[in-house]
Amino acid sequence: MTRKFDDWFVPFSVRNLRYLRDELAEVDRKLPDARRAYFELVAQKLTLQYAIDDNERYIREKGDDVD
């Protein structure tokens, strides 16, 4: 049996299983980069939220003098 999907002498379910396993392996290879990107986005979100909170606190403390 070959690793390619051109072996038409095997049943469809076997070819399909090979394809699905290769797709799963590809997703597994992408996971570390996706996790890293996710955590970077979470950190960026938290930074923005802290900045928003600081600005809102500043506005509340200054009252109507803010312009």
Model's pTM, two decimal places? 0.63
DSSP code of 8? T
- DSSP track, 35-62: HHHHHHHHHHHHHHHHHHHHHHHHHHHH
Residue-range domain boundaries for the chain = 31-67
Nearest to 19 by CA among 5, 33, 38: 5
**pLDDT tens sequence across 47-59:** 999 999 999 999 9
The answer to whether the CB of 3 falls within 8 A of the CB of 18 is yes
* pLDDT, greater one: 50 or 10: 50
Q: Residue holding tokens 């070819």?
A: 15
Contact 44, 37 (CB under 8 A): no
